[in-house]
Amino acid sequence: MLAACALAYALSVGSVVLGHPNGLTVSADPSAPTLPLWQVFLPPVVGVALTLLLPPRRTSQPAVVGEARALRHGTAFLVGLAVLTIGLGLSPLSDVDFVLSKALLFMVLPALALRFVWRGGVQVLRAGGAWRWWAPLAVVVVWAWLSQAAPWVPAADFSGHDLTFLLLGAAVTALTAGVGEELFYRRWLQTRLEVWLGPAAGIALTCVLFGLMHFGTHGSTDLARDAALIVAVQGTSGLFLGLLWWRYRNIAMNILAHLIMNGWAVAAYLLTR
């Protein structure tokens, strides 16, 4: 599984680098600027490096089997939801319907199933210490500056959007993506896949599934091109977020990073307009 995911990722990044030498538009917003490739990939790569380096001492917080039957059925259920979401992204759903579907599939159904049907399938052996807060916070601050606030990052222009629509969209995205995707892909799915496949393969498969989920917001008419783009770009962001969860087991920091990823541009525009 690890080799297959690594190959898919390498081919996707290679096709993006060769096919888009002048840069990429990574946001689904129609007013989003085109960014040079180094600006697209540098922040998550730096985030990955810092996650692996901070703190410098070795720490281990493995995910282990709780109740075997609950783990088996809960994992299959979550993988099925992830695949279903990819399918919905390829279907002709409206943006509103897709967002509502994400809220149902990423938050409501998993929360109910893992709380009342397959409870206790996996446990995380968390380590103690203040490093679980200061280290991921330092990582997120550096990553956020590189990706959102550095001098070379162009300011977003939402002047053509209705203010009420912009605020509503930002709030819905914060809930379904910032909170929902982190709970679903990292806290619930990745943790269980780490038990089944090992940490490396579990993170890798989660990254691919997380990337392909973005067909619903970043897809066009060229399926192969879209798949390469979202696995390369959103998959790289997913790798950063997956390692952040694996290393620190602090879902609040994952949610913070995802909120910044999706909401910084809107917040900066509203504060400076």
Q: Which pLDDT score is estimated for 28?
A: 64
CA dihedral (12, 241, 204, 98) positive or negative: negative
Arithmetic mean of pLDDT over the chain: 93
17: how many CB neighbours lie within 10 A of its CB?
A: 12
pTM for the full predicted model = 0.96
Q: Which pLDDT score is estimated for 98?
A: 85
Locate the domains of the chain by residue range. Answer: 2-272
Q: Which pLDDT score is estimated for 26?
A: 77
Nearest-CA neighbor of 24 among 209, 228, 204, 180? 228
> What's the CA gap between 127 and 123, in Å, rounded?
13
Q: Which pLDDT score is estimated for 38?
A: 96
Res. 180: pLDDT tops 90: yes
Q: Among residues of the chain, what percentage have pLDDT more than 90?
A: 79
Contacts of 201-206 with C-beta under 8 Å, sequence gap 24+, read 201/1, 201/2, 201/5, 203/239, 203/242, 203/243, 203/246, 204/1, 204/2, 204/5, 204/6, 204/9, 205/1, 205/5, 206/238, 206/242
